[in-house]
Amino acid sequence: MPEPLAARVAAWLAADPDPQDRAELTRLAAAGDVQAVSERFAGPLTFGTAGLRGPLRAGPAGMNTAVVRRTTAGLAVWLRRSTPRPVVVIGYDARRRSDRFALDAARVLTGAGARALLLPAPTPTPVVAFAVRHLDADAGIVITASHNPAADNGYKVYLGGRGEDAGRGAQLVTPADGEIEQAIATVGAAADIPLSDGWERLDRSLVDAYVDEAVRAVDGLPDLLSGGPPDLLPGAQVGGGPLLVAYTPLHGVGAAVLEAVFARAGLAAPVTVPEQREPDPAFPTAPFPNPEEPGVLDAVLALGRRIGADLVLANDPDADRCAAAVGGQVLTGDEVGLLLADHVLRRRPGPVATTVVSSAALAALARLYGVPCTETLTGFKWIMRAHPRLAFGYEEALGYAVAPDLVRDKDGLTAALALARAAQHAKRSGRTLLDVLDDLHRRVGVHATGQVSARFADLAAIGAAMRGLRAAPPPRLGGRAVTAVRDLLGGTDGLPPADVLILQLDGAARVVARPSGTEPKLKVYLQAVVGPAEVAAAGLAAARERARTELAVLRTAVSDLLDLPPG
């Protein structure tokens, strides 16, 4: 093994407090597995789109006890610069070692003089984000890798705040992330970090408070009681019988809380895929437990067909995302976002926000409602800061904030309830959400969206692809002229610098390229638009077919341009 690498291994082993992690690294070094050891020392994990995230393995480039303790110690240093005894809420999912990492975080925080409040059991991420605001905490930590494969885990940080701060309870952003990383770098050996068991364990009342407030926020009880649509009141009778929902939490932690939310809202309990209901860190029926991945929804779609469900819903393992299908048709994240935006704005008009990679349909809908629409960088940490009185925010990757004052992040549980309410309202009139979507497409036009995604073993190849596209953007793509190029790398239009390149094409078509913030992927987002006037002239079916055809042409053109391997 090269001497510099061997020296780094020896130094890490001397400072690692976890005997299992030390044994793993010692075994690999003794076997002379240079590649495996090098991967574990490729660099420290950094705060990406959704915090730290990486494989469960020893070394600075993995999720392990030493990394969690050093990260928490750095966070404590940073928090104490402004608050002598910060209050931090800590939650965790049901992944391997999540409970141990959460306890490590609590012990480090208490040892640093902070007040650590630990959730009593594996809990959906939105509940922890809720707790930061509900308990007026200075920060929140969630140990989760969300929808990543079973081999991964992660560390997400929420920041507190006071008053009308739009970021109160949202994920940390620049410059805080860089400042915390600098503080982490100054932390000494993980084995020497002071620990204390003076942390506090929260009880079930926090989850109960979330359930009550989630239903109140989604249903808007004060508005409804003063004259809103009576069909949205809890327990209201619906034409055609009760709403029937098929559901899966994908072996995650969402089922119990979602069922409690539905019960509190007076909805029939969803029928859940039995083999996927209980938390299981191995994800035996969904190795890639992301509802966007092909085949992941097969079991719940089959269940929906068997029971004749009005609505099919799926949460990802930490329940901050929500997928939906109606009549066997899986809706895209942009379609769900449009449905939810309309549902919210009909009852609570206000500012909305989405990302540069999501559909432009939200902006078109916002214009019809006369409300502002802000475009942000990818990630809910940016969406939530778009406006202190944000009414709705979403991103195409199945993330939705239908109650931003409750949870300053994406929340797959309130999104599921809002979708159920929208489906319930449609069913009362003998319609489905597909009919509602038809109406919306007639109003704002058909925005067909899709993605070309490529996974790379060599991260340098992603940077090379982005540099090549920047150096020579095509004058035409998919038969359309490229009318404008927006490079966000240097910061533009009030947005922070980001590795994003946007190509605007004739006819409101668009191509957006960016590296993934959570996976070793290059993602290219596509949009083709048929406007409302053309929809009215040609008919909805013809307009959709035209948009699909144009999107397919664009997908082929982008794949050829970048010479992408299969995604």
Question: Which amino acid belongs to residue 105?
Answer: A
The two structure tokens encoding residue 140: 């929140």
- Rounded Cα distance, 460 and 533, in Å: 45
Dihedral of alpha carbons 220, 225, 229, 233, sign: positive
- By residue count, the chain amounts to 567
- Rounded Cα distance, 233 and 226, in Å: 12
Bridge-based pairing of strands 446-455 and 52-55 is unpaired
- SS3 string, 98-140, reads HHHHHHHHHHHHHHCCCEEEECCCCCCHHHHHHHHHHCCCCEE
SS3 6: helix
The two structure tokens encoding residue 405: 């004052």
* Whether 269 contacts 459, CB under 8 Å: no
**Distance (Å) of CA 290 to CA 28, 209, 506:** 31, 28, 33
| Longest distance between any two alpha carbons in the chain, whole Å | 74
- Among candidate residues 566, 513, 336, 528, the one with its CA nearest the CA of residue 450: 528
SS3 153: strand
* Whether 282 contacts 290, CB under 8 Å: no
Between vectors from CA 387 to CA 385 and to CA 390, what angle results, nearest 5°? 105
Between vectors from CA 312 to CA 311 and to CA 314, what angle results, nearest 5°? 140
Bridge-based pairing of strands 329-330 and 322-326 is antiparallel
- Among candidate residues 57, 184, 173, 46, the one with its CA nearest the CA of residue 112: 184
Question: Which amino acid belongs to residue 396?
Answer: E
Q: Which residues contact 135 (CB under 8 A, 6 or more apart)?
A: 87, 89, 117, 206
The two structure tokens encoding residue 359: 């559909």
Q: Is the peptide bond before 175 cis (omega within 30 degrees of 0)?
A: yes
Phi, psi torsion values for 345, nearest 5 degrees: -70, -25
Neighbours of 443 (CB within 10 A): 15
- Rounded Cα distance, 527 and 545, in Å: 14
SS3 296: coil
Q: Which of the residues are catalytic?
A: 146
Neighbours of 274 (CB within 10 A): 10
Of the chain, the end-to-end C-alpha distance in Å amounts to 34
- SS3 string, 513-545, reads EEECCCCCEEEEEEEEEECHHHHHHHCHHHHHH
